[in-house]
Amino acid sequence: MKPRQLLQKVFPPMLATLADGPPKDGANWSYELKYDGFRAVVAISDGEIAMLSRNELDLAPRFPATFAALKKMKAKEIVFDGEVVVLDETGAPRFQLLQQGSGNERLIVFDVLWLDGQDLRRLPYTERRKVLEKVFAKAPAGIEAAQTLAMTGDEALRHAAAGGWEGIIAKRNTSVYESRRSKEWLKVKAINQQEMVIVGWQPSTANERDIGSLHLAVNEKGSLRYAGKVGTGFSAKLRTWLHDELALSRANLYPPPPPAPKPRRRSAG
């Protein structure tokens, strides 16, 4: 089976639900550090490779170092889920470095979905994790398994905060891999931030290949509430990167307004 065909079997990838804190029934959950990077789902079949974003965009041209590392994987047929990151000097991922396209690029793998003809998605997380650790025990340089935290959720969150990480991912031990956003995976922020949705942008008046400002919204129980715009704090390189990235995701989110009714003619007399 071709790599793209394998990926079609598992798309879309599973997404975590934002939570205010670690789950209360902590003994039933495992914890991983939250990697701040670019989601990548990979399929390898008989030496051929496909690496797609969560929106099914080809990531090979964007991350050639990671793609080169994947070519060294000794796997006949496998699909796995992960995140492309760039690490800073302390070993923590930094999305800003990833945007700049320089630094210590890695592919962090946190789930195995398919292996040698076997669909693993219905196995519990703990069983899939065992497969992952076995397969990636001797992975090529630039590819590694996500770091797990053998501690309570509160301890894991403090550990993440102390290291400057974005937060943790809590995964229920019995959770299967679902192609949707699920409460079986929870993301808990260690840094006090507000998560925003980019709903549009205005082009730069100086360069048509740059963004001038971003329009943001807050997701409130499935509905978007406009939160204003931001246009400062972006480097020239980041403005161009955002323009190109958002152009790929352009969509008509709302239907156009209905045409205005024609004015009625008043009869004379």
Instruction: Supply 154's token pair.
Output: 């509160």
Among residues 34, 130, 189, 237, which one is catalytic?
34
The full DSSP string for 88-135 is -TTS-B-HHHHHHT-SEEEEEEEEEEEETTEE-TTS-HHHHHHHHHHH
Q: Which residue has the tokens 């929870």?
A: 186
Known catalytic residue: 2?
A: no
CA distance 41 to 226: 31
Cβ(36)–Cβ(96) under 8 Å?
A: no
The full DSSP string for 218-268 is EEETTEEEEEEEE-SS--HHHHHHHHHHHHHT----SPPPPPPPPPPPPPP
CA distance 45 to 50: 9
Q: Tell me how far CA of residue 161 lies from CA of 18, 107, 169, in angstroms.
A: 17, 22, 13
CA distance 126 to 135: 14
CA distance 102 to 86: 8
Sheet with 15-19, strands from edge to edge, namely: 15-19, 181-189, 167-172, 29-33
Catalytic positions are 34
